[in-house]
Structure 1
Amino acid sequence: MNKLKIAGIISVLIIAVMIASQIYLAKSSQCMAKSIAAVQSSYKQSGNSPATQKKMRQFFSLWQKNSRILPTILKHSELDIVNESVAKLPAYLKDDQPSDFDAECDMLKMQLIHLWNVEKINWENIL
């Protein structure tokens, strides 16, 4: 009976951790996608302005915070692709390359949403 209780407690803990990681991943990927959309919008409106720089720093801060936690949930290869896109943004912004910056922002938003889609619990990911 004692072993059954321990197995039940462990099962509940595993499910709780899975649910918490799903919630965290959903919220963080959506928040980062919205943040990069704000950077992109600011760039379209005012170019490489102080407002755009501020939004970019906010996004980088958010990315740095989440990039410490996400490797415990996701495959590193998925994060490497996002890291590459994040690394390209400052160069495009500095060199004032609007089409490249816009394209990289779109790519980054798609990759951030993909992080959630590849890990969420649904039949497609289970089967």
Structure 2
Amino acid sequence: MDTQVSTQNQLAALLITQDITAVPFSNHVVFHDFAQDCLVKGREAVTAVLHAFFQTAFSNPTITLNRTQANAESIRLAFVLAGQQVAPFWGLPCTGRSVTLEMELGCRFLGEQITHVDLHYDAGALLRQLGLAL
């Protein structure tokens, strides 16, 4: 395994949660939100969806990285997202509530570009913390 490539892939995946404009998505990237069983295709659409969640929905979100697993073709990050919701996202209204949510993000690479992104989290836990579900 090429550790330099693995490290580059890890940094690219972390950018999704920090600076979406710097992420090396391919033009035909596919994002799969497993919690909502939702597919989004194309660089612009994927960038918009991930930006709405990780950069605008929460005030000063913090990402606590728990685990990474990387190789030259893929990366998996397990982390906890914490923050106060300050904007609507993905069709959910703004509640102003704080959330702490365990998540797992996976990316597959072709060369230096991300071709697939998958996101796993407990949608019920997110909705309960936002006060939108019992």
Which of the five TM-score ranges fits, normalised by the shorter chain?
0.3 to 0.5
TM-score by length of 1: 0.33
Larger radius of gyration: 1
Higher relative contact order (CA 8 A, sep 6+): 1
Higher helix proportion (structure 1 or 2):
1
